[in-house]
Structures are given as structure tokens and as C-alpha cells.
């Protein structure tokens, strides 16, 4: 069993630019990657491939294999899958709330494919028992795409219903969930910069500097 994590550091997470500078976003994605690798390791998955367009952004101390591929998420993952002979988990790098308990559960199901939906129609994790047969289609409403691809292939399928695993950190309000439910390096990083602000409706984030101005 192995896992593959598509990863891009340079100018990553542009939708977080209203609250984090480019440097901060690049530091932040690296910490999220570390959290994901740590959860995989704790769940017993140690064969981890990082699929990236440049080896430079991947921290050298991580015990992972680097696969440098041309840009294009779908093309690079689909080429990757053609060369894999064992059950494989495709897991995004921006899922710091995924715990080892989620990973263990996902790989324990008997179905051919496990799909973990993300907020807004995304696919956060795909676990595929026979990767050679499968093609991915990320972007757009990828949950529906993967659901249908599974159907077309006549594969058995399970949708894994988890709030924590649904939260990819993409937009500023996602950081609220990280502050509330996180337990790793990226949570620590967010805590140094933001606090949760309550009011009418959902909790929002506030920059900590806003508060320190009063001191």
C-alpha cells in the first residue's frame, strides 16, 4: 500500500492571499504537508510519493519519494497510476485535519474505491485498490466525476463521510476549522497569526495583530 500527495509550494494557495503573504503561504503549505505525512505514517503508510513539478519546494528531511512531473494535476496523477501495482491513496497536501484514524478506516473498507468528498464538490482523498484501471478527473465538481468514473468501471464504491476530512484549507474561513480542530504544525502556525472571532453567525478568523494593537 502507498500514498501519493500532489504538492506545489511556489506561490501556493493564492486564495489565502487576503490573509497570508506569499512567503507565509509557502511556509504554511509545507507545514500542512508535514501534517499529512505524519498522519499517514501514524496510520502505518510509509511508502509515500510526493508528486511535484519541482523538487526544490519539498523539505529534504521528509522520508518520502520525490516524483517530478510536468504540470497538470490530472495528467501527472494518471501517468503515475499507470505505473503502480498496489492499493494507492491519493491524498491532497492541504488536509491537516485528517488524522491517522481516518486513514486507517479508509484503507479498511472492502470496496474497490473510497471517495472522501471535500467542501464545494471536491475530492480530498481517493483510495484505489487497483490503480492501473482508474483515471482521475480533478477540478470542477470532481466528487461527481470520480463517483461516475467508478460507476462506469463497474467498481464497488464507498463515500467516506467525515467533517474533518472534508476540510481542505483553501479559503480564509477554512482556517477557523484548523484553529478549532487542528492538532499539528499547521495549527500552531495559524494560532500565531489568527484568533477565532465570534459574533452573529459562523466563527471567523481575525489577525492577531488587530488585537495586539490594543496592548
* Binding interface with a copy of itself (CB under 8 A): 15, 117, 119-122, 139-141, 143-144, 161-166, 170-171, 173, 176-177, 180-181, 196, 198-204
Closest to a copy of itself by CB, 144 or 211: 144
Q: Which three cell numbers stand for residue 83?
A: 505505473
Closest to a copy of itself by CB, 60 or 200: 200
- Least distance between a copy of itself and beta carbon 2 (Å): 25
CA distance 33 to 145: 25
Closest to a copy of itself by CB, 110 or 201: 201
- Least distance between a copy of itself and beta carbon 196 (Å): 6
CA distance 76 to 51: 8
- Least distance between a copy of itself and beta carbon 19 (Å): 16
- Least distance between a copy of itself and beta carbon 164 (Å): 6
CA distance 22 to 28: 10
- Least distance between a copy of itself and beta carbon 150 (Å): 16
Taking the CA atoms of residue 201, residue 202, residue 208 and residue 211 in that order, the dihedral angle to the nearest 10 degrees is 20
- CA distance readout (Å), 38 to 9, 64, 202: 18, 11, 30
Closest to a copy of itself by CB, 109 or 181: 181
Q: Which three cell numbers stand for residue 132?
A: 492501473
Angle at 27 between CA 22 and CA 72, to 5 degrees: 70
Closest to a copy of itself by CB, 42 or 55: 42
Amino acid at each position: 500500500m502507498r500514498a501519493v500527495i500532489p504538492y506545489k509550494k511556489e506561490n501556493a494557495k493564492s486564495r489565502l492571499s487576503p490573509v497570508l503573504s506569499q512567503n507565509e503561504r509557502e511556509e504554511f503549505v509545507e507545514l500542512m504537508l508535514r501534517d499529512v505525512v505524519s498522519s499517514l505514517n501514524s496510520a502505518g503508510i510509509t511508502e509515500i510519493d510526493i508528486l511535484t513539478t519541482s523538487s526544490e519546494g519539498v523539505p529534504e528531511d521528509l522520508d518520502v519519494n520525490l516524483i517530478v512531473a510536468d504540470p497538470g494535476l490530472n495528467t501527472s496523477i494518471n501517468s503515475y497510476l499507470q505505473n503502480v501495482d498496489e492499493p494507492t491513496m491519493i491524498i491532497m497536501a492541504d488536509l491537516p485535519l485528517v488524522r491517522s484514524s481516518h486513514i486507517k478506516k479508509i484503507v479498511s473498507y472492502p470496496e474497490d474505491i473510497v471517495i472522501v468528498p471535500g467542501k464545494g464538490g471536491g475530492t480530498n482523498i481517493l483510495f484505489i485498490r487497483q490503480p492501473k484501471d482508474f483515471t482521475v478527473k480533478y477540478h470542477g465538481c470532481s466528487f461527481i466525476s470520480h463517483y461516475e468514473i467508478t460507476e462506469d468501471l463497474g467498481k464497488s464504491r464507498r463515500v467516506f463521510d467525515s467533517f474533518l476530512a472534508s476540510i481542505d484549507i483553501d479559503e480564509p474561513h477554512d482556517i477557523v476549522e484548523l484553529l478549532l480542530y487542528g492538532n499539528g504544525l499547521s495549527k500552531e502556525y495559524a494560532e500565531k497569526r489568527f484568533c477565532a472571532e465570534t459574533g452573529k453567525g459562523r466563527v471567523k478568523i481575525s489577525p492577531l495583530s488587530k488585537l495586539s494593537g490594543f496592548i
